[in-house]
Structure 1
Amino acid sequence: MTQPMRQAPGLPTKPTGWPVGSYETYENAQRAVDYLSDNHFHVEKLTIVGVDLMQVERVLGRLTWGKVLGGGLVSGAWFGLFVGLIISIFVTGSDFWVPIVFCVVAGMVFGLISAAIPYAATRGQRDFASTMQLVAGRYDVLCDPGSAEQARDMLAKLAI
């Protein structure tokens, strides 16, 4: 007797089900699923699927040496303050401030170096800051075939 093949946990699997709604934004697809949940539909039978995926890079602004070094100083100072506060918990007496000041200064130096080296390595090829997003052209709500008709009827009452 052969054992059925099992899917390893965490591996991507293709979504299954029948489409019960298609939406231009993820927010609208989420609203549709929330509507079904509010109306006591078994939402564990639903899947939101992004179709026509795009990677979108939004440019935030120009990078300069001043911005890069300033950001390195600030992030290093915050990290140094955090480490210094933790270390100062274990220091007794009037030397409470010594580890804090030392760690803030060390953090600033480390922050400067860790910001300057990667920026210098780009040699001016990427003088801008940006964020990346994965977005879809549309979002389909799929449902288990046994409940798809009920979900479709319920969503017909929702005006999105």
Structure 2
Amino acid sequence: MPIHSGPPLNDHIHAAPVDAGYQIIASYRDYSAAQGAVDYLSDSGFAVENLRIVGHDISTVEAVTGRMTTARAAVIGMAAGAWWGLFIGLLLGIFTLGTAWFGVIIGAVLIGTVWGAVFGYVGHWATRGRRDFSSVSTLAAEHYDVVCTPEFGSEATRLLAAMR
């Protein structure tokens, strides 16, 4: 019998296991609670390779983080270009003798910064205002089931009952 943290999930859709080879041992409203249950089982010495955390009713959530202008795109491009320039400069600096390696690194960072700004500006300008914002996308599930192979299901259920 599944252990629930929060309101019970009574409909038959949520009670169906992910696969015929697994049984639901607990259901949670958020991922951190499901992760905590698996961590508890791991700390208890349970064979966690027999577990899965299954998210149901998955949706994407896009958090808008700010306005994107061509100037901001150029600045972001500059930063990315500087990192690439540093990387290339370090690679080229390996083959440079004496103190010239410092000049190679500075030159590569400057070139990377300029090209990053150009690509950032042109890349955003090419969208012609169709995406004038920045965002971060994540996946979210309505609830999470911790499922287990049948041969270890009763042991996992017993251990989770002791967790409370």
AA in 1 matched with 2:108: C
- Tell whether the 8 Å contact from 2:70 to 2:125 is kept in structure 1 after alignment: no
Aligned residue among 7, 22, 36 for 2:27: 22
Alignment partner, residue 54 of structure 1 = 59
Name the CA distance, whole Å, in 2 between partners of 1:64 and 1:76: 18
Q: Which residue of 2 aligns with 1:114?
A: 119
Q: Is the Cα contact below 8 Å between 1:18 and 1:143 reproduced in 2?
A: yes
The letter for the 2-side match of 1:65 is: T
SS in 2 for 1:141: strand
What displacement does 1:29 show?
0.6
Q: 1:39 to 1:94 in 2, by over 3 A?
A: closer
Percentage of identical aligned residues: 41
**Counterparts of 2:20 and 2:85 in 1: how far apart (Å)?**
46
Partner of 1:36: 41
> Does 1:71 pair with 2:71?
no
Superposition TM-score, scaled by structure 1 size: 0.82
Gaps of 5+ in 2: 1-17
Q: Cα RMSD (Å) of the superposition?
A: 1.9
One-letter amino acid matched to 1:136: A
Change in Cα spacing, 1:16 to 1:56, as seen in structure 2 (3 Å) is farther
State the 1:15 CA deviation: 7.5
Distance in structure 1 (CA, Å) of the matches to 2:71 and 2:44: 55
Q: Secondary structure at the match of 1:41?
A: coil
Aligned residues: 147
Q: Which runs of 5+ in 1 are unaligned?
A: 1-12
Q: Which residue of 2 is the match for residue 103 of structure 1?
A: 108
Using the size of structure 2 for normalisation, the TM-score is 0.80
